[in-house]
Structure 1
Amino acid sequence: MRLTRIGLGDVVAVMLPNRVELLIAIMAAWRIGAAATPINPMFTANEADYQIADSGAELVITATADAPSGGRAVLVVDDLATAPPTDPRPGIDVAADDLALLIYTSGSTGRPKGVMLTHANLQFMASSMGKNIGVTGADHCLLILPLFHVNAICVSVLTPLLVGGQVSVTGKFSVSRFFDDVARLRPTYFSAVPAIYAMLTSQPEDSSIDTSSLRFAVCGAAPISKELLDRAEQRFGFVIVEGYGLTEGTCASACNPVDGVRKLGTVGPALPGQQIAILAEDGTFAPVGTAGEVVIKGDNVMRGYLGKPEETAKTVRDGWLHTGDVGVLDEDGYLTLVDRIKDMIIRGGENIYPKEIENSLATHPSVLEAAVIGAPHQVYGEVPVAYVVAYPDAPVTEDELLEHVTALLTRVKVPVAIYVVDALPRNPVGKIDKPGMRRALSATPAH
């Protein structure tokens, strides 16, 4: 191993699956004034080398010596010290605005961007989220999301640790082990994405499943249908609160409360210390009940994109983080997401939001998940096409689904085609890969 000394202002890349050493490495970097950039351990060498080079990492901590390193110094995780040194280096007093994490976006619109999150961002987020969901020192989080994503780091790790709670790290998520872990470890909450709730609820009924220790769960990263939320809550008997946020906002900006008014179909009100507003097309703040772009302000807003000042200036303006999401606030400040601006389908000049079609499909009892995208069309420009995953015990035909949504939607919103598929493609953080789906369709325009 080529030795290198890491210190204040350096970046350490950590490319490991979920294991406690990953967290130890991140926190060790913080102790000596360095920042960390966690890398998806499933990345190809090309993907990993890009993040290593772009982040300027001086050291890469990996599972094996032959893992991608971008030519940097490598420390294999099994070679980490197992006992304290006789002359430990003193910790560094880092400033609140010092860089703590570089989390890379999924790159769905181009090369991934490094989101710069400071120690102040992380401290604020863990505190804000903890207050909203009522986490105390008595709570115990079961970590199931990947630690290269900010959701796992903030909601599942930093939030409970900040108040003296507990975290259990059990490795990569699997449905069968999840129930075993819950019964054995007795966690009080966990955070997951809709795909995981879909997998859990699609399992055969089993009277031996014991989820009694769980008092709530969090759902984020992508919208979840009311139907799936209801089914999961009824099946397992614990509250599921839906939240919303971006990596650029250090994970979360809104969440339904665990104890308080929950409004299904919304992602809740702004978290403590944050503001959420809706911008009209003319750039003014829209009134209650009016759809527009969701903007966020608070100490959770990122420092910026690494090395991309122009991109940063487009995204953060006058302290407001422009999310690219369309939403509506009600009179109580609860946010309902309409869709992504970039996902909007323009059919012959008519604006169509895929989420409205997906929600209509989700009301069919056989539908587990649905994704709607715009397919190129020679006459209309774009037309909606739907992909549906059915529950294993509830097969459904494409004609049945078409008949179902035709009764719920105006003609222009009815998909020109509905395909029943085994699974929907996903990006590394579990979101449905709509950009990839659109690319696959672009070569075959609809007629």
Structure 2
Amino acid sequence: MNLSLRLSETVKEHGSKPAFIFDGTETTYLQLEGAINQFASSLKELGVNKGDHVAIVLGNSPYFVISLYGALRAGATVIPVNPIYTPDEIAYILNNGDVKAAVILDLFLPLFEKMESMLPELEHIITCDTPPTSDKKEIDITKLSIYTKMKRFTKMLSTGNTQFEGPELDEEDVAVILYTSGTTGKPKGAMLTHKNLYSNALDTANYLKMNKEDVIVTVLPMFHVFCLTVALNAPLMNGATLLIVPRFSPDSIFNLVKAYQATVFAGVPTMYNFLLQYDKAQPEDLKSLRMCVSGGASMPVALLKGFEQKFKVILSEGYGLSEASPVTCFNPLDRPRKPGSIGTNIMNVENKVVNELGEELPPNQVGELIVKGPNVMKGYYKMPEETAFTLKNGWLYTGDLARRDEEGYFYIVDRKKDMIIVGGYNVYPREVEEVLYNHEEVVEVAVLGVPDPNFGEAVKCYVVVKNKTVTAEELMEYCQQHLAKYKIPSSIEFLEELPKNTTGKILRRALKDQILQK
């Protein structure tokens, strides 16, 4: 079984039911199935064959859902890409991922025009219509050098075959490659098989008791694995309805939950904080919700309790990572939850806390969290050494420090070394440091995460420069040219020198202590 086949089964059971609602328009499961087949058959006509790689550079929209399932049905491997990445970041992923076709908003055509020389293997650019806006610039696409590679998404649907049957898929075939930030500064492509994604979506759906009556607020970014499994694939397993939201704002969430009587909301702690702090919010605004789930970053206990007390809804915190498709733990719904905990094993997944020798530790001792199950990735794309370091004897070594209590509840003690989580997005210091080191005036740089009331953490840089006339604003502007918005430093502090040990290694701990003393 795989996601594509399971969706076809859902269509047979719930064909006339809304699969998703977007901008006030309902699309039934039967209509979705037809569009998926049309897109898949058109991909086949373009020469996209089983095993070829298709990138999706889109925000939350019906385009994304149809592209994802259409590419999977055609036997292709999907590579979701954050559309707010810079040209350098997108080009790296498309090149490293050997992408043959990319689905993009027509708004991004000038961006892809600039990247053409960096993407020699990209054969097809499939464009989706961006809604008209006052700041959208009209361009003559016939004058673009990439014009010959362009295909229109709507035309592909109109000419596609609604009865298309794709190739037979093996459960060990790679379905999706998710690029995660790497400690080396270069993203790593986690290869998730059809078995990985299907098993985790099914187990998550069962664990959270998702059913055909549920209406899921799908506002988390669809290109992110949290949304992909919890708020997209899992709901479609059992005939639930997705309420697709293009972008998060407290006002829109409260209005949509009330208008459509949504039953499940999935978000990161930052979203819950904004909802709780929204001055127009009333306790009854979320009364239709039976459950909220949180992931992507640690949920402060005070925030969890405050949200539940105000809105009278269960907020269940879980844990996952891209390499595990992603869910491994969730706080249970049928017995007491423990604030501050990431919960217990979900079905078919085993978590353990081990020492440096890989030996399981007794309760309440801190060690590395490792994971085993049908959801664990096949490996990193074209990175055998990284794969061997992360996957050992069938176990995924997460790099997170954790402990387990006597009742089997897990607690994250510390995150992957030096990683910063900004509003649920992972930022590795090395990635930001590499950019700043490329600035001609920068001598040394160290990047740390600092507390932020709105986003959980923010990026702070300590920099040593050659020329004292260099300003923080200048360096931030430089970062804006090379980094996604959430990776850009919120503050830059200039130092005469960075603290180091006897071997010359920069001592991050000394800088962290400096932050704590302030």
Taking structure 2 as the reference length, the TM-score comes to 0.67
- SS in structure 1 opposite 2:275? helix
Shift in Å, 1:95? 0.7
Shift in Å, 1:387? 4.2
Change in Cα spacing, 1:268 to 1:206, as seen in structure 2 (3 Å) is closer
Identify the range of structure 1 (70-79 vs 13-22) with the bigger mean alpha-carbon deviation.
70-79
The CA RMSD measured in Å over matched residues stands at 3.1
Relative contact order, higher structure (CA 8 A, sep 6+): 2
Preserved contact between residue 15 and residue 60 of structure 1 (Cα < 8 Å): yes
Preserved contact between residue 84 and residue 485 of structure 2 (Cα < 8 Å): no
Counterpart in 2 of 1:12?
Answer: 54
Q: After TM superposition, list the pairs within 5 Å mapping 1:192-211 onto structure 2.
A: 192-207=267-282, 210-211=285-286
Determine which structure has the larger helix proportion and give its number. 2
Is 1:260 equivalent to 2:335 in the alignment?
Answer: yes
Is 1:337 equivalent to 2:412 in the alignment?
Answer: yes
Counterpart in 2 of 1:301?
Answer: 376
Shift in Å, 1:88? 5.5
Shift in Å, 1:19? 0.4
Is 1:41 equivalent to 2:83 in the alignment?
Answer: yes
Preserved contact between residue 179 and residue 209 of structure 1 (Cα < 8 Å): no
Change in Cα spacing, 1:173 to 1:262, as seen in structure 2 (3 Å) is same
Shift in Å, 1:340? 2.1
Preserved contact between residue 268 and residue 294 of structure 2 (Cα < 8 Å): yes
Q: Distance in 1 between matches of 2:416 and 2:277?
A: 31
Preserved contact between residue 254 and residue 271 of structure 1 (Cα < 8 Å): yes
**1:151 maps to amino acid:** F
**1:225 maps to amino acid:** P
Match of 2:393 among 287, 312, 318: 318
**1:337 maps to amino acid:** I
Change in Cα spacing, 1:341 to 1:37, as seen in structure 2 (3 Å) is closer
Counterpart in 2 of 1:76?
Answer: 127
Shift in Å, 1:259? 2.7
**2:197 maps to amino acid:** L
Preserved contact between residue 36 and residue 100 of structure 1 (Cα < 8 Å): yes
Q: After TM superposition, list the pairs within 5 Å mapping 1:16-415 onto structure 2.
A: 16-64=58-106, 65-68=109-112, 70-71=119-120, 72=122, 73-78=124-129, 79-80=152-153, 81-83=156-158, 85=160, 89-107=164-182, 109-207=184-282, 210-343=285-418, 387-389=450-452
Q: Distance in 2 between matches of 1:166 and 1:44?
A: 33
Counterpart in 2 of 1:407?
Answer: none
**2:324 maps to amino acid:** G
Q: Distance in 2 between matches of 1:82 and 1:115?
A: 30
Q: Distance in 2 between matches of 1:55 and 1:187?
A: 37
Corresponding pairs, count: 375
Identify the range of structure 1 (106-115 vs 4-13) with the bigger mean alpha-carbon deviation.
106-115
**1:36 maps to amino acid:** V
Preserved contact between residue 134 and residue 258 of structure 1 (Cα < 8 Å): no
Preserved contact between residue 216 and residue 258 of structure 1 (Cα < 8 Å): no
- SS in structure 2 opposite 1:302? coil
- SS in structure 1 opposite 2:234? helix
- SS in structure 2 opposite 1:92? coil
Q: Distance in 2 between matches of 1:438 and 1:302?
A: 36
**2:78 maps to amino acid:** A
Q: Distance in 1 between matches of 2:452 and 2:56?
A: 35
Q: Distance in 1 between matches of 2:492 and 2:175?
A: 35
**1:66 maps to amino acid:** P
Shift in Å, 1:66? 2.8
Percent identity at matched positions? 32
Change in Cα spacing, 1:289 to 1:439, as seen in structure 2 (3 Å) is farther
- SS in structure 2 opposite 1:58? strand
Identify the range of structure 1 (95-104 vs 257-266) with the bigger mean alpha-carbon deviation.
257-266
Q: Distance in 1 between matches of 2:246 and 2:452?
A: 27
Taking structure 1 as the reference length, the TM-score comes to 0.77
Deviations 1:365-395 (CA, angstroms, capped at 9, x unpaired):
xxxxxxxx9xxxxxxxxxxx9844458xxxx
In the alignment, structure 2 segments of 5+ residues that lack a partner are 1-42, 130-151, 422-428, 430-447, 455-482, 500-510
Q: Distance in 2 between matches of 1:267 and 1:441?
A: 38
Q: Distance in 1 between matches of 2:299 and 2:337?
A: 14
Counterpart in 2 of 1:405?
Answer: none
Q: Distance in 2 between matches of 1:32 and 1:121?
A: 18
- SS in structure 2 opposite 1:36? strand
In the alignment, structure 1 segments of 5+ residues that lack a partner are 345-353, 356-372, 374-384, 392-426
Preserved contact between residue 14 and residue 60 of structure 1 (Cα < 8 Å): yes
**1:301 maps to amino acid:** V
